[in-house]
Amino acid sequence: MLQAASFVDQFGWRVAQIALPIVAIRVSGTVAIAGVVGAATGVPSLTSPWWAHRPRRWVAAGQARRLAAVYLACGAVSAMLPLTAATHTMPPALLAVVGCATGVLGTLAAPTHSALIADLADRTGPNGAARMLAWQDGGQRTAMMLGPVTAALLIGAYGPTVALAADSASYFLAGLLMTGAASGASGEEVGPQPPQPPRASRGTSNKSGPQPPQPPQAPGDTSAPRIRDTMAGHPDIALGWLVRGAGCFGWFAFSLGIPMLGTGLAAVALTVYGAAGLLATPVAARAGQARRPARVAAFGWLGGGTAFVLIGAVPTPVGVTIAGAVAGLSVPVGNAAVTALLTRAHTGEMRRTALAGQQTVVNAASTAGLAVGATVLGALGARTTLVVVGTAIAGVAAFAVFVRAAIAARQGRDSPHRSCGRRSMPG
């Protein structure tokens, strides 16, 4: 039920991404309000490091029941839009208010939901958390493909109001599924477990660098860990976020640049990328078992950057098909490896904070990329932008591999077991 709730939530959000701008333009008569609504939705996530740690902690303390309440509240807030649109009483400011409110609730729900899945998956054995989070990402990729298509069909047949109603219904359904997950536990605790000692599986290492102990907090301790705390002693996490952030920043070259080459090429690229991403999900689910997940993450986005360069250099149906397949097969595996670094290094509240940090990195980098994307594309053109951005992403990935190798070499020199002929095992 947890995975189903994640899919339904993501599906509704993808529908809203198509319907909201259309409604905003119809209500206000200007494109500017669509940008305001988009900003209002994204600001809570971008500013979450300064406000969200305590509210998120409160949601997590209630486990699945409080998470269900967040989804139901999101459904109630978003229902205001189709109701006012149907009665022709929607003020433009309401769009921004609802967008901000759902952004706040979504910022609290998303990392808590992922952490809940990871906490439960820990019980299935080593690397269970990374495996189940990879399947969650696969479900969200499916929603990313189906949501916009469904929105287009609903808007074409019934108008954007019905699409907004579908978005609201998806939140209610996610809340009901979470309620069912909480009830189905039959008294068993569903949620964060006390920190456990690191577990190693054959041929793997649970380390992403030196891991300081994570003692449980004292009963009277009301402090919450900060995102920066999750990187202390874990250089692989910082490198993974650097690589993923670079890829998300440069993603505008793919999403905005390819359509400039032609709608036909854009359709081919997005379709092949989405299909290849789904095929890569079983491989991504095994990324947590990698001996060196930091390198897997880097090589994943190295493939993504190479795909960008290929599209810019060979903007033909064949070239775009090959590039879309390369990106679709490599990027999900790289992202899953970054998540595996978090789940190996942390448990409990530190893990929830790390997942929230990853969400912030992805959202901030994507927003920044879209903010400058139109200017860059206008100045350089689509083909040159794809080549330059792809080269930059690949360069960042190669830099991460170099830095990780340097860290591993230093750990090998400093290892007290070096005289016994033992090699340190990097993350």
Q: Which of 23, 269, 12 is nearest to 155 (CA)?
A: 23
Running DSSP on this structure, what letter comes out for residue 417? T
Confidence of residue 169 (pLDDT cuts 50, 70, 90): very high
Q: Which domain holds residue 113?
A: 1-184
CA 209 distance to own-chain centroid: 23
Of 128, 152, 184, the domain-final residue: 184
Is the same domain home to 115 and 241? no
Whether 209 maps to a domain, the answer reads: no
CA 137 distance to own-chain centroid: 8
Is the same domain home to 257 and 174? no
Task: Please name the residue ranges forming H helices in 79-217.
Answer: 80-86, 92-121, 128-158, 160-184
pLDDT at 426 over 90: no
Which pLDDT tens digit goes with each residue over 74-101?
Answer: 999 999 999 988 887 788 889 889 989 9
Whether 113 maps to a domain, the answer reads: yes
If you count them, how many residues does the chain have? 427
Mean per-residue pLDDT for 157-180?
91
Mean per-residue pLDDT for 293-317?
91
pLDDT of residue 62: 73
Of 184, 214, 237, the domain-final residue: 184
Is the same domain home to 15 and 134? yes
Is the same domain home to 318 and 387? yes
pLDDT of residue 270: 83
pLDDT of residue 416: 56
Q: Which of 71, 129, 177 is nearest to 355 (CA)?
A: 129
How far apart CA 294 and CA 283 sit, in angstroms, is 16
pLDDT of residue 198: 44
Is the same domain home to 130 and 262? no
Burial class (CB in 10 A: 0-12, 13-18, 19+), 374: exposed
How far apart CA 268 and CA 276 sit, in angstroms, is 12
Of 135, 155, 184, the domain-final residue: 184
Q: How many domains does the chain have?
A: 2
Mean per-residue pLDDT for 340-366?
87
Whether 201 maps to a domain, the answer reads: no
Which pLDDT tens digit goes with each residue over 3-22?
Answer: 899 999 989 888 888 888 88
Mean per-residue pLDDT for 125-138?
84
Is the same domain home to 142 and 84? yes
CA 117 distance to own-chain centroid: 14
Residue 144: which CATH number? 1.20.1250.20
pLDDT at 338 over 70: yes
Task: Please name the residue ranges forming H helices in 221-347.
Answer: 235-249, 252, 258-261, 263-279, 281-285, 293-313, 317-345
Is the same domain home to 172 and 264? no
How far apart CA 126 and CA 318 sit, in angstroms, is 41
Whether 76 maps to a domain, the answer reads: yes
pLDDT of residue 174: 93
pLDDT of residue 325: 94
Whether 192 maps to a domain, the answer reads: no
Segment of 50-59, 149-158, 244-253 carrying the highest mean pLDDT: 244-253
Confidence of residue 201 (pLDDT cuts 50, 70, 90): very low
Whether 377 maps to a domain, the answer reads: yes
pLDDT of residue 194: 46
Q: What residues contact 45, with CB distance under 8 A and at least 6 apart?
A: 103, 106, 107, 359, 360, 363, 364
3-state helix, strand, coil in the chain (%, to 5): 80, 0, 20
Residue bearing the bigger pLDDT, 398 or 425: 398
Whether 196 maps to a domain, the answer reads: no
CA neighbours closer than 13 Å in the CB half-sphere of residue 415: 18
Is the same domain home to 241 and 294? yes
Is the same domain home to 150 and 234? no
Which pLDDT tens digit goes with each residue over 359-391?
Answer: 889 888 888 888 888 889 989 999 999 999 999
Tokens found for residue 359? 């969400």
pLDDT of residue 215: 43
Is the same domain home to 157 and 254? no
Is the same domain home to 128 and 57? yes
Average pLDDT over the chain, rounded to whole? Answer: 82
Strand, coil or helix: 402: helix
pLDDT at 326 over 50: yes
For residues 201 and 289, the answer to whether their CB atoms sit within 8 Å is yes
How far apart CA 253 and CA 381 sit, in angstroms, is 10
Is the same domain home to 127 and 261? no
Mean per-residue pLDDT for 323-333?
92
Whether 200 maps to a domain, the answer reads: no
